Amino acid sequence: MEKTKWRTRVVCDAGPVIHLDELSCLDLLSDFQEIVLSDTVWKEISGYRPGALKREDLPFVRSSGEISVNEPLLTMCRMFSLDVGEIEALALMEQSAQAMFLTDDAAARLVA
């Protein structure tokens, strides 16, 4: 069966990549155009599942540079006690309104 590339950009925190790799199911992400990870998220995944990011068939994109987080978003994230990786992922989402957000964190979904 031929794979089709969705013209969808995904912004992701560490949890989905880590857990899909634990289940040997990372190939579920292969149809996306790109999977954007902040530097913090990249480092977290590297610490738990370093092989996951070495998959050449997956379109992981490491976001470089500092990610600016506006004050209203930062306030909401603090109210829900989100960690830095989730905050950065949400800030990247604000920059890419058409992107899809993948997270395993219920509080991050509420903020999104």
Query: What's the rounded Cα separation, in Å, for the pair 68 and 111?
Result: 17
pTM for this prediction: 0.88
| Torsion angles phi and psi, residue 9, rounded to 5 | -95, 135
96, 83 contact by CB (below 8 A): no
DSSP conformational letter for 47: H
Burial readout 40-72 (b: 16 or more C-beta within 10 A, e: otherwise)? bbbebbeeebeebbeeeebbbeebeeebebeee
Per-residue pLDDT of the chain (112 residues), as tens digits, is 555 555 788 999 999 999 999 999 999 999 899 999 999 999 999 999 999 999 999 999 999 878 888 899 899 999 999 999 999 999 999 888 788 999 999 999 999 8
